[in-house]
Amino acid sequence: MENKTYGIIGLGKMGLNLAFNATDKGYKIVGYDMHTPAGVNKENLVFADSLQTLIDQLPRPRKIFIYIPAGKAVDMVIGELTPLLDKGDIIIDGGNSYWGDSIRRAEKLKEQGLYLIDCGTSGGTSGARNGACFMIGGDKEAVSHIEDLLKDLAVPNGYTHCGASGSGHFVKLVHNGIEFGMLQAIGEGMDLLEHYREKLNISEILYTWNHGSVVRSWLIELMKQLYDEKQGFNVPSYVEDTGEVNWLVSDAMRMEVSIPVISQSVMQLIASRDKDHTSPKAIAMMRNGFGGHPFGTDAGIEHERHYGRVGGYDEEK
């Protein structure tokens, strides 16, 4: 009989929504978090008050997902789990861990007779709840124990076993890099539309683009949704990110693979956070030094910038 009971450590937005998704499909989930979600009462979802309690409720081979932020915390959780597990048990890291860390962890656990599967997860919280996209790396035998669940939790065709340990998180990292490039390109497109010589109906343009155009996508859909909701681009430009694509840029340099668009998208994101703007101040100082360019605005120079060229679409103005 198929073992349809799984553990999930980390019941934040991703972990809890995946738990809901799984229980809807007939799986039993035993969840553990330092802060148990309040007001959650769902059939086939039980909360453990400790890792030992979680382990005690899982049949062998135990299959335990970890959905916590990447970094040392993952090593800590694995370190606390391993003494409680038996040979053949499986840990699945569903966070955005660095692929090199996943290889290291898998090799160490293999020495103890345990398995680590790296599970790149895409689709956000909505995907976790309604159908995600999974990119898996790890031992084939171990993967075979969780494949049915992941296919059930994924959208149709939203599952692939990429290869050995580390490959799932590497593929997810490349995915995130492509996402950065797409975000930057769409953002620059919005800037161009916003600065056209006459007012454009950006909401309608975005709607149209998502019906048959080459750039139709979920990101365009989200762009329209948020543009309408915020009544324009009325949000701060500062955006945080968790830094995974920085790792990809570093990997690309070591691999000697040219990724200018992805790299520049990271630089632009960093630039959006620069409130002090030291670099333009430094440039202004040097331009003043070599060319006598004034600091701040200057009506005469502004006029020259706009009207110094004769010809082009502006010539009648």
Selected catalytic residue, list 172, 224, 230, 244: 172
Selected catalytic residue, list 4, 108, 110, 179: 179
28 is catalytic: no
DSSP H stretches of helix in the chain:
13-24, 51-56, 72-81, 99-110, 124-130, 140-153, 167-194, 202-209, 218-230, 244-255, 260-271, 278-291, 299-307
User: What is the CB neighbour count within 10 angstroms for residue 188?
Assistant: 12
User: What is the CB neighbour count within 10 angstroms for residue 117?
Assistant: 25
Burial of 204 (0-12, 13-18, 19+ CB in 10 A): exposed
275 is catalytic: no
Tokens of 47: 């909360």
d(CA 30, CA 162): 27
d(CA 37, CA 47): 9
Q: Which residues are catalytic?
A: 172, 179
